[in-house]
Amino acid sequence: MSRKTIDTLIIDLDNTIFDWFAVWYASFIPIYNDILRVTGRPASEIEADIRAVHQVRRTSEYTFLLEEIEALKDIRQTEDIRVRFHDAFEVSRRGRDLNLKLYPSVFRCLWDIKRKGTKIVAYTESMGFYSAYRLKRFGLDGVIDVLFSPEDHDTPAGVSVDKMRRLPDEFYELQVTQVRHTPPGELKPNPRILLDIIKAVGAKAERCAYVGDSLFKDVAMARDVGVFDIHAKYGESQRRPEYNLLQRVSHWTEADVQREREITAKGHTFEPSAVLKDSFAEIFIYCDFGAFDENRKNIDPDELKNTIEIWKKTVDVQQHFNDLEMRIRNFAVTIVGVLVASVGFTYQNGLEATLFGVRYAAGLGLIVAASIVWIGFFLMDRYWYHVLLKGAVKHAGKIEAQLQGRLPSITLGQTISDESASVRICGIKMNSDTRLRNFYILGLVMLAVVFGSLFFATSNRPSLPVTQVAPVPAQSVAPTGGSEVH
């Protein structure tokens, strides 16, 4: 088969990079045997009680099992359960630490992959605290970029975690590796979880590889989402005789247990894309690892479609604001043009106005009014609609940058911005802001010229001749109502 180019490696932890079953069995069996000894009850009853607690807490690794198991209820009322099981705890802890180690070649291989710039993601069903503690112990804090795991279970009432821990909190917490949690109750082989992980880290499914030990949980899930599946066959533990105990006390549902038994007994109907038979190092036979592009953002098909629709709407908004700006400038030119034309009428008819005892041509007032209108249109154009237009252009640019890796042809906004910024007038480069400002400055200069010309202008109209009016001769008017005197 051809080698796959991989920039994101997603790995299961349990039984893939270390023998989780050996760790679990070594730490569980001393506690389990001591419960049987102390209670004297049948194994089937104890296992049922243990499983009930594990299912409530959604994990088969429950630190506070003794504080909650029903079989020890009477003993907890009379004495400290931790003191009673002290020896079993010590054996359990030593067995855990003895088996808590990476498989051969895992540490070296992960570092080699890390140095190539590949993003390494861990996905496990073990609780966050246990997984983080193990990565710290393995020296993988920072080698693993992101850890996805379920949230930790609650602490029983009255139990102090601080008193149980032997080391400072920093020893148990990851300092470099990011920790994220999967949704409560969601377990493998749910393909939606894996798709969400791929999306969360910004990876592309076709450039991911997933390594896991379970054909049922890991390989089948990876195949469902189109990720290159790699079976860590060396980590299979299902065929060990002790594995039956885990199935009887685990948090898995009966349907999960039965389905896994059937797959183990009958085999599977598909072949993994790659199989690591003896060690993790065999992964280099199938994969070429390359650097992950941190600036790349993966988009699923539905999101891609919605993003394109948003981009189209943003372009429509750009066109809308651009149209509004052109209308504003047309209105400004029209209104100012009418006012300037009116100046000619006032000048032709010799209309004047008096202000503070000084006589001015009436057209000067129209020029002042035209200047105020022109400046008003500039303020509305530049600091209202032009700002909105630039915002729409900027938003379109963000969308185009997001789509650059998927749809390189969607660059309209960026192309328009580049062309607009490169416009030269009289050899001087002017962007849209400069061109808009200069347009209104030229209009204002024109009004200033008209104002100055009118202010200093003198009328050349000829004076009207003065007409001489002859005096009207006086007439004698006979008095009325009297007698004439001779």
Verify that 55 and 135 share a domain, yes or no. Answer: no
Q: pLDDT over 70 for what percent of the chain? A: 81
Verify that 196 and 218 share a domain, yes or no. Answer: yes
Q: Which of the four pLDDT bands, split at 50, 70 and 90, describes residue 48?
A: very high
Mean pLDDT of 53-61: 85
- pLDDT at site 427: 80
**Could you tell me if residue 284 is inside a domain?**
yes
Verify that 172 and 289 share a domain, yes or no. Answer: yes
Verify that 318 and 430 share a domain, yes or no. Answer: yes
Segment 400-426, tens digit of pLDDT: 777 765 676 777 877 887 778 778 888
Segment 358-391, tens digit of pLDDT: 676 777 788 888 889 999 999 998 898 888 888 8
- Assess contact for 193 and 213: CB atoms under 8 A: no
Does residue 296 have a pLDDT over 70? no
Residue predicted with more confidence, 481 or 110: 110
Segment 419-429, tens digit of pLDDT: 787 788 888 88
Verify that 292 and 254 share a domain, yes or no. Answer: yes
- Range with the poorest average pLDDT among 46-55, 127-136, 290-299: 290-299
**Could you tell me if residue 472 is inside a domain?**
no
Q: Can you give the CATH number for the domain in which 111 is found? A: 3.40.50.1000
* Summary mean pLDDT of the chain: 82
* Domain of 432, in residue numbers: 301-456
Does residue 42 have a pLDDT over 60? yes
Verify that 161 and 54 share a domain, yes or no. Answer: no
Sheet holding 208-212, edge to edge: 178-181, 146-149, 119-123, 8-11, 208-212, 228-232, 274-276
Domain boundary among 298, 328, 353: 298
- Range with the poorest average pLDDT among 104-108, 145-149, 187-191, 338-342: 187-191
Verify that 422 and 435 share a domain, yes or no. Answer: yes
Verify that 212 and 160 share a domain, yes or no. Answer: yes
Domain boundary among 262, 277, 298: 298
Domain boundary among 246, 278, 298: 298
Does residue 28 have a pLDDT over 90? yes
Segment 207-224, tens digit of pLDDT: 999 999 988 889 989 998
Verify that 112 and 251 share a domain, yes or no. Answer: yes
Does residue 189 have a pLDDT over 90? no
Residue 172, C-beta contacts closer than 8 angstroms, at least 6 positions apart: 129, 132, 133, 136, 165
- pLDDT at site 396: 85
CA nearest to 21, candidates 278, 280, 264, 235: 235
**Could you tell me if residue 463 is inside a domain?**
no
Verify that 311 and 403 share a domain, yes or no. Answer: yes
Q: Which of the four pLDDT bands, split at 50, 70 and 90, describes residue 350?
A: confident
Verify that 12 and 35 share a domain, yes or no. Answer: no
Number of domains in the chain: 3
pTM of the model: 0.58
- pLDDT at site 301: 66
Verify that 222 and 334 share a domain, yes or no. Answer: no
